[in-house]
Structure 1
Amino acid sequence: MIRVYSFCFLLLLGHMLYGQQDRLSRLQELAQQQPDTALRSLRELYGESKKAGDTSMQGEYLQAMGEICFHQGHYQQAMEFYFDAEKAFDKAGRSDKIAQTFGKMGILYFYNKQHDKAQEVFTQALELYKKTNNEEGQAHILGSIGQVYEKRQLYDSAFYYQNLALSKFQLCNNKEGAAKIYENLGSIYEDLEKYSEALTNFQQSLALYTAANNEVGTIEVINNLGDILRKTGQYSASIAKTKEALHLAEKTKNTYQMASAAKDLGKTYGLMKQLDSAYHYAERSRTLSLDVYSQDVLKQTSFLQVLYDMNKQADEIERLNGERTVNRILMISFGIGAILVGVLIFLTFSRQRLKIRDQKITTEKQEAEHALVQLQLENKVLEEELLKEQLIVKGRELSAHTLNLIKNKQLLEQLRSDLLAMVKDDRRDQKKQIKQLIQEIDNSFGEEQHWKEFAQAFDQVHQEFFDKLKSYSADLTPADLRLIALMKMNLSSAEIAVMLGISTDSLRVARYRLRKKLNIEQGDNLTFFIQSL
């Protein structure tokens, strides 16, 4: 009978754990489309697991929240979640999960170009996976280490670790893992301009991605094949491959991949001197990129609101806990006082009528004061709700200003390029008029009105940001502050260059000078520093 009960208990426990893992998987899928909703749900599940004392699931939820923050570009918050997840897994004695968390930390360092730190945590993860004989985990980490060496242009070491990873994925019969390694190998050969070897590896990767029904991987590799064909002068074959990638992206409604494929088609048609087609696909790529950016801005706004609410909720819980403690003490004090008063009234009723009346007045006064405090607390809650709504509105204004600036800069830059091309034409009777138009466009690049509106909206959303920044350096110019504000918005280098009206090389010089002014040490990431303020 005891064995029957034990078996039933284990069966019930297994069902509960499976249910938790199933919910976690569904939320991870939801995070790809609605990161704010997924983060809020994970936070609630984390609170439930904390109450239940389940440190293993706490680590799972913290790791998943870190993954969402990483993909949304909030690297500091992601790293905090990863650190907390590692502590929870350590308490639960789950070495494989600790190794997995180290792997995610390493990827975060890698994307922030902190290659030394990335390699350090990758090595820690690899040692843990070796201790638990986890071949698949080792394969993932070996592939990541190979990518670090590739970024350092140490190609011999990159090939060595990628081939080790490939062997382990093949041993585990992990087709998607092997496909990723073949893709990495193809990229290395492409960097070395060994296009034949690159083509072979990309084709092997495509076959495995297709077999595993990995749509995103399939589209990326087909695009890579189109790039190789273009670089080797096979323009017609390149266009066919890239259009295949574009069709798959449209079928799966992957706007980012659609923009990438359209951009590659524009490049190929440009090399073929088919300028109408080149312009058509370049314009389509620009429109799709703006759609991606707009969607990202909206997601970022909602996501920031969730992070704000989470932090605010934690502060509110701490404050309420403090108030509960104080109220408990006050209630006990009032109870003791009431008992003493009752005893005194019972003993000296005939001689204490006046004191009883005074006590009654004092009690009414205390109740009135308590009601006043309660009213003030309600007013404070209403003020906080109003500030929260204002923050949402300002965030939307900031997103709109940013999008308008990008659109205006890109439109002016395109008009300016077209007019310059017309000036080079033999029709000299148009040159004077066209040069005047170019001059007007050049003058429009210096207009400050949109920047002033952007700066006002930015300062309202990110209060005290510039004050913190100036504590690191008093030599920051208005141009430096513009660059920093755009980096705080998590824009790409290409988008920042368009908004500032400068080339990417000039942007690189500006970033270098900014690092000097802020006294950022070699190896530390400028973007990570600005995001952390």
Structure 2
Amino acid sequence: MTLPIFPTCKYNLRYLIIIALVSLNYQFSLAQDERRTFASAYHDKSAYASIKGLLDTALSHDDSYAAGIYYQQIGDVFFKEGVLPQALEYYFKANSSFLARTFTVEYADNLNKIGKVYYKTSRLNSAMQTFRKAVVVSDKVNYPRGTAEADKYIAQIFEKMGHLDSAHYYLELALRAYQKLHNKQQVAFTYSKIGGIYEDELKFSEALPYFFKALDLYNDSKSLEGKAALLNNIGDVYRKMYNYKTALTYTKQAEQLALQLKDFQQISSAHRDLAKTFEMTGHFDSAYYYSEKARSAYAKSFNIDTDKKLNLLQTLFDVEQKNKEISRLEKDQFNNRVFIFLIVLVGLLLAISGYSVMSKQRLKSKNESIIHENIRENIELELNNNQLQETNLKAQLELQSKELSSHVLLIIQKNQFLEVLKNKVISIIKDDKRDSRRELKHLIATIDENTNQDKNWEDFRAIYENVHHQFFDKLIDYEESLTATDLRFLALLKMNLQGAELATMLGISQNSLRTVRYRVKKKLKLTEQDNLSQFIQQF
């Protein structure tokens, strides 16, 4: 292969070439990771517009999963053209949509895409965290391709950080995964990255076998994607091994393939390496020639990328403006319809209200007189009902009070009778007539039992409850330890009976009555100064 070598110039040209190479190397390094091959079916402006339409349809149907897919695809369009902030924005929106359905393969892919944006923008810590999360999600959903993709980029992050051993480890993980998946393209890429690590470690003899394994896979698959960069890497290794002839051969192959693909970035890279090789062989005129060509190719690549970014951003702006205009027109149309409707409605309402006012005026006086008359009659009827109800209640209360008084009087009379009878029997017992003494004692016991356990108590209690509602329930709620005798005592006390009457009703002596009064006050937690009669009136 004939290479363009120009006659030797003066040595001061050497310094100019070195300055040009240093400048070019600096500019090229800034864009080294700006673009990588991206396989998709999108076509920049038309792709964004068409996907945006599909996205709007999915959102209008509340289809979060489809919306997530379209968010991700729009992010891919921006990523492909290097508009990374917008790409990241749409990837984040896709994440929110995918998370609505727990972990999925699409979510794992999206995490890898977010990690790539972080990697491209040198946010290595964020990239590392995102790729590690992608590994976890990919393992959970049994998605080895997602795991391999994340491992591959984790390795590249370690490489940038200078941790070459860790980078090599993760590249081996990715390599084994891609081999199981029979993905020759990614196996070749991983081989080339492992070779690159050995090259960084200056282990050129160990790097070349991996580069040639990758080259064999590219040749077998007849794939040109990534092949130009690989050929350039091989030429670069041979140059570093001072095998300039072989280095020029592979670098020229890289140049020809890049020209065929019209990949100006790879063209610039090949020309840059050719310039370095010629400079090292002392052909400074050729080195200067290729350094200028590298600068020109890089400028063209930069301009093309810039134009694509601007066109895409212009499309984004145009679509947003179009959507805003459509929204404005739809809003105006809606407002016009609402305005017309309101005019018609107001007219109808005015007509109806006019007729209604006239009708209401005619009926108003009549209705008011009828209403006032009905109100007056209702008030009179309610007053009569209240008076009648009050009269009935008074009559019932008076009747029940009479019944209660009669019942109490009956009990008092009965107990007095029993007391007289008891005294007579006692006087009989004191006689010496021993033959009737046992029967008389039995009679006294029967009288005592009849006196102390009033079998008419339930009737008395029912009548009492009608006059004093829930009296016994309130007492039990206040103090649960009150006995039946206590309740009888308190009920009679509420009727304002005197001591003698209370003792007669309960069938006990005055001393026993004082004992009952003391015990009840103690249960009710009253002091000696507290008046039990006044206290019981609150129940």
Compute the TM-score of the two structures, normalised by the length of structure 1. Answer: 0.56
Equivalent position of 2:268 in the other structure: 259
Distance in 1, matches of 2:338 and 2:89, equals: 36
Equivalent position of 1:240 in the other structure: 249
Structure 2 residue corresponding to 1:71, chosen from 77, 80, 93: 80
**1:216 is paired with a residue of what secondary structure?**
coil
Please give the residue correspondences for 1:344-359 in structure 2 after superposition, counting only pairs within 5 Å.
Answer: none
Equivalent position of 2:52 in the other structure: 43
Q: Quick check: 1:28–1:38 contact (8 Å CA) kept in 2? A: no
Please give the residue correspondences for 1:12-411 in structure 2 after superposition, counting only pairs within 5 Å.
Answer: 29=40, 31=42, 34-93=43-102, 95-317=104-326, 319-320=328-329, 322-323=331-332, 326-343=335-352
Structure 1 pair 109/347, CA: closer, same or farther in 2 (3 Å)?
closer
1:494-521 superposed Cα distances (whole Å, 9 cap, x missing partner): xxxxxxxxxxxxxxxxxxxxxxxxxxxx
Q: Quick check: 2:103–2:137 contact (8 Å CA) kept in 1? A: no
Letter of the 2:177 counterpart: K
Letter of the 1:307 counterpart: L
TM superposition shift of 1:322: 4.9
TM superposition shift of 1:297: 2.8
Letter of the 2:70 counterpart: Y
Letter of the 1:39 counterpart: Y
Distance in 1, matches of 2:174 and 2:41, equals: 30
Structure of higher CA gyration radius: 2
**1:173 is paired with a residue of what secondary structure?**
coil
1:480-500 superposed Cα distances (whole Å, 9 cap, x missing partner): xxxxxxxxxxxxxxxxxxxxx
TM superposition shift of 1:56: 2.9
Structure 1 pair 232/255, CA: closer, same or farther in 2 (3 Å)?
same
TM superposition shift of 1:317: 4.9
**2:226 is paired with a residue of what secondary structure?**
helix
Distance in 2, matches of 1:320 and 1:83, equals: 31
Which protein has greater RCO, CA pairs closer than 8 Å, 6+ apart?
A: 2
Please give the residue correspondences for 1:375-454 in structure 2 after superposition, counting only pairs within 5 Å.
Answer: none
Distance in 2, matches of 1:276 and 1:151, equals: 34
Letter of the 2:131 counterpart: F
Q: Quick check: 1:148–1:158 contact (8 Å CA) kept in 2? A: yes
Distance in 1, matches of 2:105 and 2:217, equals: 26
Q: Which moved more, 1:119-128 or 1:51-60?
A: 51-60
1:384-411 superposed Cα distances (whole Å, 9 cap, x missing partner): xxxxxxxxxxxxxxxxxxxxxxxxxxxx
The aligned length equals 321
**1:273 is paired with a residue of what secondary structure?**
coil
TM superposition shift of 1:202: 1.1
**1:215 is paired with a residue of what secondary structure?**
coil
TM superposition shift of 1:47: 2.0
Letter of the 2:55 counterpart: Y
Q: Quick check: 1:183–1:221 contact (8 Å CA) kept in 2? A: yes
Structure 1 pair 233/96, CA: closer, same or farther in 2 (3 Å)?
same
RMSD: 2.6
Structure 1 pair 347/56, CA: closer, same or farther in 2 (3 Å)?
closer
TM superposition shift of 1:255: 2.4
TM superposition shift of 1:340: 3.0
Structure 1 pair 62/116, CA: closer, same or farther in 2 (3 Å)?
same
TM superposition shift of 1:278: 1.7
Letter of the 1:249 counterpart: A
Distance in 2, matches of 1:82 and 1:220, equals: 28
Q: Quick check: 1:263–1:281 contact (8 Å CA) kept in 2? A: yes
Structure 1 pair 88/321, CA: closer, same or farther in 2 (3 Å)?
farther
Instruction: Give the % identical residues.
Output: 31
Give unmatched runs, 5+ long, in structure 1.
1-26, 349-533
Letter of the 1:251 counterpart: Q
Distance in 2, matches of 1:302 and 1:122, equals: 31
TM superposition shift of 1:298: 2.2
Compute the TM-score of the two structures, normalised by the length of structure 2. Answer: 0.56
Distance in 2, matches of 1:164 and 1:54, equals: 37
Q: Quick check: 1:66–1:77 contact (8 Å CA) kept in 2? A: yes
TM superposition shift of 1:79: 1.3
Distance in 2, matches of 1:256 and 1:76, equals: 22
Distance in 2, matches of 1:347 and 1:172, equals: 83
TM superposition shift of 1:183: 1.4
Distance in 1, matches of 2:246 and 2:230, equals: 15
Give unmatched runs, 5+ long, in structure 2.
1-37, 358-539
